[in-house]
């Protein structure tokens, strides 16, 4: 069976005709299989939704109880038959509950990896390499210039700055689903045990992570704190909040931003970020290329991000490769676009 007869790009998203579903559809569909909770992948208004329990919970928290007509929680490794295909979820290492979807029809296996990273993250199940015939990869950081390095070193930079400026507050811009919790967990791994403060928009999802057994230490709402009491503290906030009047409640704040884009100095300067932290929930160039090679796939389809360089790299390695030209994805987790729920105070 030709891979394009199993999965094909359609206006609503990646469509599996023999299985009767779409993966991460950007428009309402009858049956959606969803890789993870970021708002560009997990949208409301579908009929049936299949996803991990965590992804379903995050959709419920964000969109309310009626976000879909029906839901089915799928565990990692569980096999489900839909029409003429079998699907299986595997950990993607991107955020809590994130999954790659393996779609098998007759003898052909295609893996739609959603967003993923191969770096260690204490807040989610590690990425798993899934052998397949066709690997569908994102390309958010699909240029050789993107090498993220060790996230622990970035957190050490933050702690060094806190030690150096005890009279100032440290404000860390981080996306509210995944990145914020990872930064907190990384701080705890470095032995930082003081309370960490949260912007109001971070609270629901962070408390949800805790309810799933992710230990994050003592967390406090920044709301209602006296300005002077925030000297020497660390507060996590949505990136948009770190450049608005909301920051006036902090004593002489040092503004940090945790993102893979912080590798690009000009971006940090443009945003007025004093302390750029290169911490990403996406694979970097080395991660993307190593993963493609490890899957053993002979064919690679490249979705959102910097497709061209990755397609070219695949071809030089003798792999069939093409961009998928799916529209509607620009990850909330890394893009400059801030989700509506993060813009609130």
Contact 183, 238 (CB under 8 A): no
Rounded least distance, CB 98 to Zn ion, Å: 7
Q: Contact at 8 Å (CB) between 6 and 322?
A: no
> For residues 127 and 329, which CB has a smaller minimum distance to Zn ion in the complex?
329
Q: How far is CA 343 from CA 131, 230, 240, 243, 247, in A?
A: 40, 22, 6, 11, 14
Site for Zn ion in 309-338 (CB under 5 A): 329, 331, 333
* Rounded distance between C-alpha atoms, residue 287 and residue 102, angstroms: 19
- Taking the complex as a whole, the smallest distance from the CB of residue 41 to Zn ion amounts, in Å, to 6
Binding map of Zn ion across residues 290-309, x = CB under 5 A, - = no contact: --------------------
- Between residues 42 and 169, which has the closer beta carbon with respect to Zn ion? 42
Among 54, 115, 121, 342, binds Zn ion (CB under 5 A): 115
Pairing of the two strands 275-277 and 196-198:
unpaired
CA-wise closest residue to 256 among 310, 99, 243 = 243
- Residue 278 CB, nearest approach to Zn ion (Å): 17
Q: State both tokens at 345.
A: 């105070």
| 24 vs 154 by CB, closer to Zn ion | 24
- Which of residues 115 and 121 has its CB atom nearest to Zn ion in the complex? 115
Binding mask 16-55 for Zn ion (x = CB under 5 A): ----------------------x-----------------
Q: Which long-range contacts (CB under 8 A, 24 or more apart) does 324-328 make?
A: 324/9, 324/14, 324/136, 325/9, 326/9, 326/13, 326/14, 327/26, 328/13, 328/26, 328/40
User: Closest separation between CB of residue 302 and Zn ion, Å?
Assistant: 13
The nearer residue to Zn ion, 96 or 314, going by C-beta atoms, is 96
Q: Which token pair is 189? A: 């791994």
Positions touching Zn ion (CB under 5 A) are 38, 115, 329, 331, 333
């Amino acid at each position: 069976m030709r891979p394009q007869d199993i999965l094909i790009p359609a206006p609503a998203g990646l469509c599996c005709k023999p299985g009767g579903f779409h993966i991460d559809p950007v428009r309402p569909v009858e049956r959606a299989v969803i890789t993870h909770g970021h708002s560009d992948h997990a949208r409301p208004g579908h009929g049936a939704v299949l996803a991990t329990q965590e992804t379903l919970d995050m959709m419920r928290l964000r969109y309310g109880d009626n976000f879909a007509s029906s839901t089915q929680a799928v565990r990692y490794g569980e096999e489900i038959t839909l029409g003429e295909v079998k699907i299986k979820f595997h950990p993607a290492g991107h955020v809590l509950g994130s999954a790659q979807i393996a779609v098998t029809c007759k003898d052909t296996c295609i893996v739609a990896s959603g967003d993923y990273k191969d770096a260690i993250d204490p807040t989610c199940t590690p990425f798993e390499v899934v052998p397949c015939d066709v690997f569908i990869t994102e390309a958010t950081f699909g240029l050789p210039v993107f090498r993220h390095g060790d996230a622990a070193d970035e957190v050490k930079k933050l702690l060094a700055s806190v030690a150096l400026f005890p009279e100032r507050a440290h404000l860390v811009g981080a996306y509210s689903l995944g990145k914020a919790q990872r930064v907190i967990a990384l701080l705890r791994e470095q032995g930082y045990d003081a309370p960490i403060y949260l912007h109001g928009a971070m609270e629901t999802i962070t408390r949800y992570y805790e309810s799933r057994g992710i230990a994050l230490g003592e967390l406090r709402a920044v709301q209602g704190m006296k300005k002077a009491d925030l000297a020497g503290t660390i507060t996590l906030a949505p990136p948009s909040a770190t450049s608005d009047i909301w920051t006036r409640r902090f004593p002489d704040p040092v503004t940090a931003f945790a993102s893979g884009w912080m590798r690009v100095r000009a971006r940090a300067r443009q945003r007025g970020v004093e302390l750029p932290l290169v911490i990403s929930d996406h694979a970097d160039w080395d991660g993307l290329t190593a993963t493609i090679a490890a899957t053993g796939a002979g064919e690679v389809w490249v979705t959102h991000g910097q497709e061209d360089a990755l397609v070219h790299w695949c071809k030089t390695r003798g792999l069939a490769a093409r961009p998928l030209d799916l529209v509607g994805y620009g990850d909330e987790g890394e893009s400059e676009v801030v989700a509506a729920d993060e813009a609130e105070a």
